[in-house]
Structures are given as C-alpha cells and as structure tokens.
C-alpha cells in the first residue's frame, strides 16, 4: 500500500533512474579509427561521425594514425580498449593484422564495427556503403558513354594488392567484356591511382606506348588528377577521356576544363554516419534486420553469413556539382 | 680508389646503354625526344634530392628525413603562396629557407649528440612529418593562384600539326641540371668539397687536421635540406597539388639511386656522375617497362632484379680489381 509520500519517493527514484538511463546513453563512447590522419575523405567521414554523435546523443569521434600503418592502428585500438570505450568502428589498413586486437576488444564487451573489410574476423558487423562491384560497373558505364563504346583504354588502380580496387576493376572489365566488345584494355591494370606523380608519369608513358589510347579510367582518387595534369601539360584536354573515382573539390577545376569528363566517389559523410548509427543500434541491443532503413542510405541489404551490412552511397560528380559537395 | 669508382660508373653506364638499346629495339616509342624529356621531368624531384644525399653520404652521414623536409617546405611554401601571393622566386626562397632551417636542426643534433645520423634522421623524419600532419591535418592543397599553375617551360617543342605543346624544358628540369652542376663544382673544385670527402673518409683524422667539423656537418645537412626544399617546389610546379603523405616513404628511392650510383654508405666515396646514372637507371627501367607494355605485375620484380644485377657487376668488378693490386 503506497501513500502519497511513497509515490512521491518512488517517482523521484524512477526519475533519477531515468536520468541515469539517459546519462548512460549519452556516455556511449563510439570511436572511429580511420586509416590515416588528415586525408580529406577521412576528414569528411569524421564530420559524419560527429554529426551522428550529435543526432543520436552519443559521444562519437574519430582518431587516426599519422601513417597508413596497421601497427599504429593496433596500438590505437589497444589504447581505446584500455580506456574502456563502448564501441570501436575501424577502417583497417590491414584486416588480418587487426584480427587479434579486435577479438580482444570483443572479449571486453566492446562492440566492433568495420568498414572496407568484408568478413573481418573480430568484428560484430562490417558496413559497406559502397559495393566495389556495383560501383565499378556503374563507373564503367559512365566511362563507356564518353568513349562511345569503342577504343583503347587503360585502367588505374591504387595498388595491385588492394582487394577493393581489384573487385572494382574486375567488375568494370566484366561490363566491358559483356557490353562493349569494341573497347580494348591495352595493358593490365596499373598501380598508380593513389599518387598524382605516378599517375602523371604513367599517363605520359601510356600515351607513347599506345598512340591510339582513347581513354583512362580507374579507382584511386588521384589517378584521374595525375592523368589530367599530364594532358594539361601537353595541351591535350579532351583528347583522352578520363573518368574515374575523384574527390569532388579537388577535381572541380579539371572537370570544368574538360580534362576529366566525369567522376564518382562514395559519400564519406554518410559512411561515417552509418557506422556510428549501427554501433549505437548494437549497443542498444537491437537486432540487425535485412531491409532495415538507415537514415540517408536507404534500406540495408544484410548478409548474415559474412556479417556484412550493405548500403548504397555512390555519388556522381560532374563539373556542375563538384564544388557544392563539401569535400 | 679513383679507378674503382671510375670503373663502376663505366659499367653502370654500359648497363644503361644496353637497357636503352633493348627498350628501343622492342618499342618504337621509347627512343625519342619527348620521352626523354618526360623521363627527365618525372625524375627531377628524386634527382635533386639524390644530389643532396650524395653530399651527405660522402661526408659519412645519411639523411632519411629528406622527404619529410621536402614535405614541410612544400606545405609552408604552398600556404605562403596562397595567402600572400608572391612570385616564383619567393616560392623557392621560402622552401629553400625552411629546408636550410630543418637541415641545421638535423646537423646540431647529429653533431652534439654524436649519435648515428641514421637514427637521428629517422627521429626527425617522424618529428617533421608527424608535426606537419598534426598541424595541417594532412589536408591536400590544390587551389594555387593562376600564375603558379601556368606551365613554366623555357621553351616548348611543338608537334608537327602544332596542336600540342608536346614537351619543353620545364623549370624543374633546369633546376635538376643546375643542382647537379653546382654539386659537381662543390665536390670537385672547392676546398669545402675536399674537406667533405676527408670528413667521410676519416672523421677523426679530419678533426685532428683542424677542420671545423661542426661547420662541415651544418653545411652538409643544410645543403640536402636546401635541395629538398627547392626540389619540392619543382614537384608542385609539375603536379599543381600538394599531397603531404605522398613524399615521405620515397627516401629509400633517393638512397637507392645514390648508392646504385656508386656512393658509399660508409662515406668518403661517390660522384655526381654516378648519382645521375643511378637516378637515370631507375627512371629508365620504369619508363621502358611501361612503354614496352610489360604487365604491371612484373614491374617491381624486374626493378629488383636489375638493381641486384647492377650491384653484382660492381661487386665482381671490384673483386677483380682488388686481386689485380
């Protein structure tokens, strides 16, 4: 039998409990460990992480090593485990090198979410906002459009050992084989997509080795920039079609000058947002369901065997929109 | 001693000539002026840094921080140009002075700590590069003023139909040549150069001979700092972007080219001509492989084999010469 006083005390107790409940929710510490500090893609991704933190009422932030070094990431994650954070989101520099430390984090009850690392051991879920196969096919269709479906072309990747880039390139070439028999790849994929200087040099060499070269496409956001610089130096804007993955702001002057015809990129802000969003779901104890909506990224395709959540976030970049995208 | 160095350069030269003939036979597009200029442009930055590395190696030191110095100098130069405008001369001045300052820092640490230059410059590599990334967040820079983005060619070769500026002697290439000439003069014709050789040959003997060892150390590390600063501006003039994470990591390429060119890691030996050949060998092999259409999967393998081959010929030759004495 409760009297008024009892009800009052109970409601205060409940109120305080509910406050602690909110306090706990706010105290979720969700940390994104990126590949390398300070590259623009990572910076915009960080803004998505922070935005999710504000909207979802969690303490979310990004850390990253000064070099794209797996050992440095391992050390950072060790520190985060020691600090006792609630969730760790990682974009691994080397999936296998991170496996032990991620398993250690899981054993301490920390939620682990990865990106760009399908089938990561030691992760609760992997999130992919860009499917390399869909993106590669999508990008090649654009490229083929500018090429009028015919002619010799070369393909850049960031590195020959980068799984994502190889899947992207495989998908692009599959589209070419199937739909554009009059297009011809002149040589095997060239690893220069992450360096303007290398892409510049390779483009000069390719133009000499293959005088009929009509286009260059690829993955790795500096490949098209380097190719465009080579064309600019030789006053050859538009004589070789350049279509590939680019950062919008950086490629804007090249798109406007007709040195690059079109580009695409995954949307880093949405990516950063989605990782924190999913980490928060998991911390709240909610179930991951196929087809569940993620704000701004459509409905998830969930692969329960590979523990992968696939969302769609490829952004087409043109001379018109390149300057408005914020990265 | 002098004979051995001469012989080594000779064999290196033969290897390069053989490669050039080989590439020319297997591809019609290799041996022409345009490709020659392209190779020069592409290797200008590494070449300029290699000239500095040569001087450091001869003095018995090493500078792994060369790429970090270039990164810092390039970044500060870019910010200065964008914020305060200025001109080409001021761009080179800013980068050169930053290079000299960081080089001085290296020199003082190396001289007063009496620690191996290797470990000191690994430390300063991390310090310079880490601080740059920390302060700048590694942001790329590409919004240069128009005058900076124009091509800086001394004159241009135009193609037959006159539609393309096929190539020209661009400023970075001119700087590369000037730097090699300057380094040659310093090493060959100045007292300073002879002192640097003596310092690398036997540090203690040079000190007892009354050389100003601090002064020499400062000169050597400032020289490479200055050159990497200048070279980094040249690189921006070609690429029109500053990508702070793109240069660090290439210091081994610089050292490889210099040592391949006959400079001794133990100090006291090396020549400008050899260094030029070392830079040229690596640049020509990369270029030739792409132009011949060799699959990119083989490039690194072949580069590795050619370096081993060149060094083996040198080792074999040196053994033979030594036996001859």
What number is the average pLDDT over the span A181-198? 93
The total number of structural domains that make up chain B: 1
Assess whether A304 and A211 both reside in one domain.
no
User: Is a pLDDT exceeding 80 seen at residue A10?
Assistant: no
Percent of chain A with pLDDT over 70: 93
In chain B, residues with a C-beta closer than 8 Å to the C-beta of A247 are: 140
Of B136, B241, B291, the CB nearest to A196: B241
Asked whether B76 and B94 are in contact (CB, 8 A), the reply is yes
Write the Ramachandran bin of B259: left for phi over 0, alpha for psi from -120 to 50, otherwise beta: alpha
Nearest residue to B272 via CA among B52, B16, B42, B100: B52
Phi, psi of A68 (to 5 degrees): -75, 65
Predicted local distance difference test score (pLDDT) of residue B34: 84
What pLDDT does residue A16 have? Answer: 59
For residues A259 and A143, state if they share a domain: yes
Residue A44: per-residue pLDDT? 86
**In contact, A161 and A194? CB cutoff 8 Å:** no
A136 and A253 housed in the same domain:
yes
- Considering the domain architecture, whether residues A59 and A112 belong to the same structural domain is answered as yes
Identify whether A318 is part of a domain.
Answer: no
Q: Is the pLDDT of residue B324 over 60?
A: no
pLDDT at B27: 87
Q: What pLDDT is recorded for position B130?
A: 93
Among B240, B285, B303, most A C-beta atoms within 10 A, so best to mutate, is B240
Query: B164-222: per-residue pLDDT in tens?
Result: 555 568 899 999 999 999 999 999 999 999 999 999 999 999 999 999 999 999 999 99
Please give the Cα distance from A49 to A46 (Å, whole number): 5
Q: Which residues are paired to A309 by β-bridges?
A: A127, A302
Let me know if residue A327 belongs to a domain: no
> Looking at the predicted structure, is the pLDDT value of residue B1 above 60?
no
- The counts of H helices and E strands in chain B are 13, 2
pLDDT at A20 (0 to 100):
52
* DSSP β-bridge partners for residue B141: B242
What are the φ/ψ torsions at residue B182 (nearest 5 degrees)? Answer: -60, -45
Q: Which of A36, A201, A206 sits opposite B42 (nearest CB)?
A: A201
pLDDT for residue A2: 54
Phi, psi of B10 (to 5 degrees): -60, -50
- CATH code at position A11: 3.40.50.2300
Q: Mutating which of B45, B243, B244 best tests the A interface, going by the most A Cβ atoms within 10 A?
A: B243
Cβ of residue A211 closer than 8 Å to a chain B Cβ: yes
Confidence band for A97, pLDDT divided at 50, 70 and 90: very high
With cut-offs at 50, 70 and 90, classify the pLDDT of residue B160: low
The CATH number covering residue B145 comes to 1.10.3470
Per cent of chain B over pLDDT 70 is: 91
**Rounded (to 5) percent helix, strand, coil in chain A:** 45, 20, 35
* Record: contact B137-A201, CB cut-off 8 A: no
Query: At residue A22, does pLDDT exceed 80?
Result: no
pLDDT top residue among A266 and A231: A231
> pLDDT tens digits for B117-158?
999 999 999 999 999 988 887 788 888 988 888 767 766 666
CB-CB contact of A88 with A283 (8 Å): no
* pLDDT at residue B317 is higher than 80: no
Range in A158-162, A200-204, B7-11 the model is least confident about: B7-11
Res B191: pLDDT: 95
Q: Which of A209, A236, A265 is the last residue of a domain?
A: A265
Q: How confident is the prediction for chain B on average, in pLDDT?
A: 89
Under 8 Å between Cβ of A50 and A60: yes
Do A138 and A212 have their domain in common? Answer: yes
Closest to B290 (Cβ–Cβ): which among A38, A206, A234? A206
Give the minimum alpha-carbon distance from A301 to chain B in angstroms, rounded to a whole number: 34
Question: Mean pLDDT over residues B57-85, rounded?
Answer: 95
Does B26 reach chain A within 8 Å, measured CB to CB?
no
Question: Does the distance separating the beta carbons of B166 and A234 come in below 8 Å?
Answer: yes
Nearest residue to A111 (alpha-carbon basis) of A273, A271, A280, A289: A280
Beta strands A308-310; A301-303: pairing state: antiparallel
Domain containing A213 equals: 132-265
- pLDDT number for residue A126: 95
pLDDT above 80: residue B7: no
Does residue B1 sit at the A interface (CB-CB below 8 Å)?
no
Let me know if residue A319 belongs to a domain: no
The two beta strands, A59-63 and A29-33, are parallel
Residues B208-226 as b or e (16 or more Cβ within 10 Å = b):
eeebebeebbbbbbbbbbb
Count how many domains chain A has: 2
- Asked if A254 and A148 sit in the same domain, the reply is yes
Band (A311; pLDDT cuts 50, 70, 90): confident
Give me the residue from A36, A187, A209 closest to B27, CB to CB. A209
- Give the burial string for A255-286 (b: 16+ CB within 10 Å, else e): beeebbbbbbbbbbbbbbbbbbbbbbbbbeee
Could you list the residue range(s) of the whole structural domain that residue B99 is in? 2-324
Chain pair A-B, CB pairs under 8 angstroms: 108
The yes-or-no verdict on residue A279 having pLDDT over 80 is yes
Q: Nearest CA of chain A to the CA of B178: how many Å? A: 22
Mean pLDDT of A30-53: 90
- Chain mean pLDDT for chain A: 89
From chain B, pick out residues whose CB is under 8 angstroms from the CB of A199. none
For residue A277, pLDDT over 90 is answered with: yes
Indicate whether A21 pLDDT > 50: no
Residue B12 has pLDDT above 80, yes or no: yes
Whether residue A146 is found in the same domain as residue A257: yes
What gap in Å lies between CA A144 and CA A146, rounded to an integer?
5
List, for residues B83-125, the tens digit of each pLDDT value: 998 899 999 999 999 999 999 999 999 999 999 999 999 999 9
């Amino acid at each position: 039998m409760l009297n008024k006083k009892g009800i009052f005390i109970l409601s205060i107790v409940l109120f305080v409990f509910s406050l602690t409940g909110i306090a706990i929710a706010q105290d979720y510490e969700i940390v994104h460990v990126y590949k390398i500090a300070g590259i623009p893609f990572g910076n915009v991704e960080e803004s998505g992480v922070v935005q999710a933190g504000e909207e979802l009422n969690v303490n979310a932030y990004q850390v990253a090593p000064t070099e794209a070094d797996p050992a440095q990431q391992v050390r950072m994650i060790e520190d985060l485990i020691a600090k006792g954070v609630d969730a760790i989101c990682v974009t691994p520099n080397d999936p296998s090198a991170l496996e032990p430390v991620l398993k250690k984090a899981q054993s301490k009850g920390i939620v682990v979410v990865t990106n760009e690392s399908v089938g990561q051991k030691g992760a609760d879920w992997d999130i992919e906002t860009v499917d390399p196969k869909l993106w590669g096919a999508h990008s090649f269709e654009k490229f083929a459009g500018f090429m009028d479906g015919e002619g010799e072309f070369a393909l850049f990747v960031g590195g020959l050992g980068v799984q994502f880039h190889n899947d992207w390139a495989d998908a692009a070439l599959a589209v070419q084989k199937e739909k554009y028999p009059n297009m011809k790849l002149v040589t095997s994929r060239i690893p220069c997509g992450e360096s303007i200087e290398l892409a510049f040099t390779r483009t000069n060499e390719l133009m000499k080795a293959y005088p009929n070269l009509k286009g260059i496409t690829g993955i790795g956001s500096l490949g098209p920039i380097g190719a465009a610089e080579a064309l600019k130096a030789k006053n050859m804007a538009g004589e070789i079609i350049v279509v590939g993955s680019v950062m919008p702001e950086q490629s804007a002057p090249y798109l406007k000058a007709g040195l690059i015809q079109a580009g695409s990129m995954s949307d880093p802000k949405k990516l950063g947002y989605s990782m924190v969003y999913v980490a928060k779901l998991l911390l709240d104890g909610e179930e991951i369901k196929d087809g569940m909506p993620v704000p701004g990224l459509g409905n998830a395709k969930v692969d329960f065997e590979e523990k992968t959540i696939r969302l769609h976030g490829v952004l087409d970049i043109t001379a018109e929109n390149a300057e408005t995208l914020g990265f | 001693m002098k004979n051995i160095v001469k012989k080594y350069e000779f064999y290196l030269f033969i290897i390069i000539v053989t490669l050039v003939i080989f590439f020319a036979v297997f591809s019609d597009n290799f041996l022409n002026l345009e490709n020659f200029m392209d190779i020069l442009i592409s290797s200008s930055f590494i070449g300029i840094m290699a000239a500095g590395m040569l001087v450091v190696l001869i003095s018995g030191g090493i500078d792994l921080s060369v790429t970090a110095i270039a990164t810092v100098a390039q970044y500060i130069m870019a910010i200065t140009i964008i914020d305060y405008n200025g001109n080409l001369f001021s761009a080179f001045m800013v980068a050169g002075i930053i290079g000299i300052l960081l080089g001085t820092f290296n020199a003082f640490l190396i001289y007063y700590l009496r620690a191996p230059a290797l470990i000191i410059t690994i430390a300063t590599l991390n310090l310079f590069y880490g601080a740059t990334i920390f302060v700048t967040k590694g942001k790329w820079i590409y919004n240069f003023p128009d005058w900076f983005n124009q091509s800086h060619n001394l004159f241009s070769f135009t193609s037959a139909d006159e539609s393309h500026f096929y190539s020209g002697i661009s400023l970075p290439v001119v700087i590369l040549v000037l730097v090699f000439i300057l380094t040659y003069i310093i090493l060959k014709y100045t007292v300073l150069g002879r002192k640097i050789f003596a310092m690398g040959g036997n540090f203690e003997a040079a000190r007892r001979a009354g050389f100003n060892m601090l002064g020499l150390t400062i000169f050597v590390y400032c020289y490479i700092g200055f050159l990497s600063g200048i070279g980094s501006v040249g690189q921006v003039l070609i690429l029109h972007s500053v990508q702070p994470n793109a240069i660090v990591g290439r210091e081994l390429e610089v050292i490889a080219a210099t040592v391949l060119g006959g400079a001794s890691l133990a100090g006291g030996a090396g020549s400008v001509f050899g260094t030029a050949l070392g830079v040229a060998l690596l640049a020509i092999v990369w270029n030739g492989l792409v132009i011949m259409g060799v699959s990119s999967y083989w490039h690194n393998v072949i580069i590795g084999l050619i370096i081993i081959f060149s060094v083996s010929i040198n080792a074999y030759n040196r053994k033979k010469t030594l036996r001859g004495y």
